[in-house]
Amino acid sequence: MTNTSSIKSAFTNTSIDTVDLVVILVYLAFCLLVGIWATWRTQRGSISGYFLAGRDMMWFAVGASLFSSNIGSGSFIGLAGTGAANGIAVASYELNGLFCLLLLAWLFVPVYIASGVYTLPEYLKKRFGGQRLQIYMSVLTLFICVFTKISADIYAGTIFIQQTIGWNMYLGILVLLAITSIYTVSGGLKAVIYTDTLQTVIMVGGALILMVISFVRVGGMSKLYTDFPKAIPSNLLNGSDCGIPTDEAFHLLRSANSGDLPWPGNVFGITILGAWYFCSDQVLAQRSLSAKNMLHVKGGSILAAYLKILPLFTIVFPGMISRVLFTEEVACVDPDICMNVCQNAAGCTNIAYPKLVVELMPKGLKGLMLAAMMAALMSSLTSVFNSSSSIFTMDIWKRIRPGSSEGELLVVGRVFVLVLVGVSIAWIPVLQQSQGGQLFNYIQSVTGYLAPPVLSLYLLALLWSRTNEVGAFWGMMIGLLVGLIRMGLDFGYGSPNCGEEDFRPTIISKVHFLHFTIILFFVSLLATIIISLCTNSIDTKHIIRLTWWTRHNTVERVLFEEELAFDRKALERKPTHSKPTGELPRWRRIVNLLCGYEPPKEDIISEEEKKEALRALTSIKEERKWKYFVNINALVLLTIGMFLWGFYS
């Protein structure tokens, strides 16, 4: 039996070498310069330029941004930590994402582009009329962004900054948030996508280097297969099996009553969460909407899908290697030992990846890897900031002030980014008081309680013309109520600690949250269908180019009466006074320069020119030769994905 007091903190030496510090500072400076350069290249004085990067992004930038927006520092911490605890099954989220990215480009985005929307809640307003669905979806999306995505990434970032570098946590986070907010506020989506491209290169390069070093250190894949089941800490609790690796550690598909990832939840539940995240969440969809045409949309998804193969090998397997190499620290289950090791009585698997970075990476490369973790944090935060800003500005502020000018909307979008930065900083003390291991596990479960009704709504909106506003709204409300009841029970009862008897109700203890995700999806789906069939249908003249079946229709869509009324109200409230044509005062020009703001340029164009511009903006035509090329690549990806699932199932 190992003496508890003899096991010290996993990070006894948090001082950083000068070479590594230089690498980090050079990276941060270079990232800031790229952001500023991208800011000057973007159309900052227009809504399309700021929120959708002018819709002229190339496929490689779209794909890199899709990947880096999805793989944040929370993914490095969470995937490696869960891999250390339970094996490779957690990689199902990543491998499933491969298929969902193709679903995004081939099914969802053509309709989003054809509808000419900036945000996904705006699509619901056009598809169903009214505003309650748009407002509800906007508020729900902002809630999920702030309290899951931002919180997970900030928490993961603090682990790296505080424990591996030794910097003051608040100072480190403030520096990163300051850098990200500078180019996010000033340059909009284009600056975010360009910096995401840089950060993808840093992330992938650093992760590949650490993967190679880790496999060399452990002795290769065969040695990992042999040693992982033996990676059991000395101090177990009351003779329980807590801390003993599962026999199914190297299988993606596990028994239906498995406590971590049962196969029905893995196959169907994760598919629902993945399809929601990639296809009906603003953060990911907005990147695809910024592409210059459909071929670049599909090319971006293909690149991101190829990159989604990597996390199994570059994050999950290294997390398992960390458990083999540092069993007593990473796999601890005794609360006293865990508090000594990582200041978290719930467990220390979250330190699996940073432990590898600190112990295995040589000078210089350690700085590169720490820069990669900062890149992961910054890319995911900038994506959330920009997407949340788009939703607040276009779906909420525009409702509050229908006559808002483009200049006002651009200012509101920038100010809201600063508000989110403030919320992120204020959230840090809350995260410090939370049990980090439980926090990450709850992220997926919270999403599982809120996301399934959203996916069911978007699928029906795209694929079933009979879906109406009444059915959509009440289907969402029923799904929300059922999901909140389960979430309240889950958080209210909590999870039993290792070795404790489970006294929770059967609906929690026996129904895995991924199984509940499946149930919730079909409850919402059926409720929407039944209510829609029992109420009046929508006239087809209102949904032209808003469903999969009408996406190529060239007939002009007839607006809902609610849309016409809103347009009339916006026209009435729009300022009619002429704007001064003289040169702006010097102080005003300096403020505009510092904020990266360009006053919107009001071009005088005819109605016919406006219609032509709209037709170009909503075009989903594809060049025949390149259409075959991307379709063949999609088939290759599907084959690779199915092989990996079959090989590791």
Q: What is the per-residue pLDDT across 537-573, written as a single tens digit (0 to 9) for each?
A: 999 999 999 999 999 888 888 988 887 887 777 676 6
Residue 594 is given by DSSP the state H
Residue 440 lies in a domain: no
Closest by alpha carbon to 68, among 295, 389, 275, 311?
A: 311
Kindly state the average pLDDT of the residues 32-44.
67
Task: Tell me the one-letter amino acid at 589.
Answer: R
Residue 585 lies in a domain: no
Kindly state the average pLDDT of the residues 124-139.
90
Residue 175 pLDDT: 72
Residue 164 lies in a domain: yes
Domain containing residue 185: CATH number = 1.20.1730.10
Number of domains in the chain: 1
At residue 6, the 3 state secondary structure works out as: helix
Of these ranges, 165-174, 256-265, 268-277, 369-378, the one predicted with the greatest mean pLDDT is: 268-277
pLDDT at 46 over 70: no
Q: Are 275 and 96 in contact (CB under 8 A)?
A: no
Task: Please list, in sequence order, all residues whose beta carbon lies within 8 angstroms of the beta carbon of residue 101, skipping any fewer than 6 positions away.
Answer: 66, 278, 301, 302, 304, 305, 308
Share of the chain above pLDDT 70, in %: 78
Residue at token pair 């094996």: 87
Residue 461 lies in a domain: no
Residue 436 pLDDT: 44
| Residue ranges making up the domain that contains 156 | 17-432
Residue 423 lies in a domain: yes
Residue 526 lies in a domain: no
Residue 117 pLDDT: 87
Residue 87 lies in a domain: yes
Residue 241 lies in a domain: yes
Task: Please list, in sequence order, all residues whose beta carbon lies within 8 angstroms of the beta carbon of residue 517, skipping any fewer than 6 positions away.
Answer: 265, 269, 272, 273, 448, 449, 451, 452
pLDDT at 610 over 70: no
More confident site: 153 or 348: 348
Model confidence at 297, pLDDT cuts 50, 70, 90, reads very high
Q: How far apart are CA 560 and CA 558, in angstroms?
A: 7
* pTM recorded for the entire structure: 0.86
Residue 431 pLDDT: 56
DSSP letters along 334-382, please? -HHHHHHHHS-TT-SGGGHHHHHHHHHPPTTHHHHHHHHHHHHHHHHHH
More confident site: 335 or 572: 335
Model confidence at 315, pLDDT cuts 50, 70, 90, reads very high
